[in-house]
Amino acid sequence: MKNIEPYKQLETIRHRQDGVPCAVMAAGIPTDLAFTKCELTNLPAEVLNYTELKSLYLGENPISKLPEEISSLSQLRELYIFGCKLRELPAGLAKILSLEILDLSHQPLQNLPANIGALKKLRVLYASNTDMTTLPVSIGDLVSLEYLGCTDNKISKLPETLGKLKQLKELRLYGNCLKELPHSFSELTALREAYLRNNQLTALPSNLGELSALEVLDLRNNQITHLPESIGNLQNLYQLDLRVNPIETLPEALRYLKSLRKLDLRWTRLTKEPTWFEQLRTQGTLIYL
C-alpha cells in the first residue's frame, strides 16, 4: 500500500486527483478525504478517527474488506467505494445514519446489508455491476431514497417492500434477470423514470397506470407480449420504449397518452398499424416501427 501521508490539501474535494491522497481541512481536521486509485488494500486506520468527515472516496482500490468500526464516521454524508474487491459489507455501514449518497458499484458484492433500511437519510444508492441476486426486504425502509441504480447485476426478483419508496424518482434496474415486477411497483407514486431494459419480463402489473408521475418507461429487450389497459392512465408519460419485445397487439388506451412524444416499437411483432396511431402523430408523438 502506498504511503497515504501527507494529504494534498484542496479547497473542494471536487478537485481530487487519482492516485493522490487528497483532503479538505477545517481547523486542521479533515472534513473530506479522497483515496481514489491509491492502491489501498484496506481502510487506513487513522481515517476512523476523523469523526467529522462528510465525504470519503475509496473508489478503484483493491480493498476486500471494510471494518465494522466504519460506523464511527457518524457525520459521513457521502461514501464512494466503487471498483473495489468487496464481496460483503459490514453491518456497521448501516449505522452511519447521516449517509445520503452511497456508491457500491463495480465489484463482486454478493448482497446489501440486511439492515440497510436503517439509512433513513439515504437519497442515492448505486449498486451496479455486482454479483447481487436479490435486494433486501429492508430496502423499502429507505424513506428518503430518490435514486436507485442496480443495473447489470443478477437480480431475479424484487421485494414487495419496493413500493414503500415514496420519494423514489428514478429507478434503474436494466441488465438483470427479472421475470416480473412486484404488485407494489405501482405504489412508487413519485417515480418519473423507470429503466427496465434487458431483463426477462413477460408482463407488467395490471395497475401500472397508478404511476401518475411516470415520464420515461424503458422496457426494451424483454419478453413482454401485451400491455395492461391501465397504461392509458399514465398522463405524464413522455417516452415509451418497447423495442425487441414479442408484442403483437397494443391496447387502444395508448391513444389517451397526451404527453407521449416517443413510442418505439421497432423489432416487435406488430404487423398492422392501428388506426389511432394517427391521433398520436397529430399530437406530436414520434412513432418508430
pLDDT digit string (tens) for 25-40? 999 999 999 999 999 9
Mean pLDDT of the chain: 96
> Distance between CA atoms of 156 and 142, rounded to whole angstroms?
21
Q: Sorting pLDDT into bands at 50, 70 and 90, what band is 19?
A: very high
Give strand pairing partners of 170. 147, 193
Q: What is the pLDDT of residues 176-225, one digit of tens each?
A: 999 999 999 999 999 999 999 999 999 999 999 999 999 999 999 999 99
Classify each residue of 79-118 as buried b or exposed e, where b means 16 or more C-beta atoms within 10 Å of its C-beta: bbbbbbebeebbebbbbbeebbbbbbbbbebebbbeebbb
Q: Sorting pLDDT into bands at 50, 70 and 90, what band is 6?
A: confident
Query: What is the pLDDT, as a whole number, of residue 1?
Result: 41
- Over residues 141-157, mean pLDDT: 98
In the chain, helix, strand, coil percent, each to 5?
20, 15, 65
The third-level CATH classification (topology) of the domain covering 156-289 is 3.80.10
Query: What is the pLDDT, as a whole number, of residue 2?
Result: 46
Helix or strand (DSSP H, E) at 280: helix 277-282
Q: What is the DSSP letter of 277?
A: H
Beta strands per DSSP E along 203-283: 216-218, 239-241, 262-264
First to last CA, the chain: 55
Helix or strand (DSSP H, E) at 278: helix 277-282
> Distance between CA atoms of 113 and 79, rounded to whole angstroms?
15
What CATH number is given for 1-155 in this structure?
Answer: 3.80.10.10
Every domain range in the chain assigned CATH 3.80.10.10: 1-155, 156-289
The three grid cell numbers given for residue 266, joined into one nine-digit string: 421497432
Query: What is the pLDDT, as a whole number, of residue 4?
Result: 55
- Over residues 155-172, mean pLDDT: 98
The pTM of the full predicted model, rounded to 2 decimals, is 0.96
* Residues of the chain above pLDDT 90, percent: 98
